[in-house]
Structure 1
Amino acid sequence: MSFVVESLHIAGSATISSFSKVLKNIPRNLCYFSAQMDYLSGVELMIFVLLKSLKSIQNENYT
């Protein structure tokens, strides 16, 4: 559970501009690149959690 909270915090503290900057300047340094991939998977996890919670809220409203 702490992983989810940590990734939510990391993704929440990032701005759209820095996110697009990372995508534009994909570094040659493989170590840095793998760290960015971990960050992107954290963002994907956050989006997944948000969508799941929105779906459950919608389901509660319809029942």
Structure 2
Amino acid sequence: MAVQKSKVSRSRRDQRRSHDALTAKTLAQDPLTGETHLRHHVTPEGYFKGRQIVNIESDD
């Protein structure tokens, strides 16, 4: 098993982990409403895969 020769600073450790945040979020479009949303997430209107999952009630 590999053993480090000296302590890795927080700065160097975090620099190694920082590149994951640079990737763009993948967007999807709901087939029924055409809304754009994050993949594997419900749309703002409550639809997922063309079906209404969450009933969003308006304040009007």
TM-based fold match above 0.5: no
| Structure with more of its chain in helix, by fraction | 1
Higher relative contact order (CA 8 A, sep 6+): 1
* TM-score using structure 2 length: 0.28
TM-score by length of structure 1 reads: 0.28
Structure having the higher strand fraction is 2
Bigger Cα Rg: 2
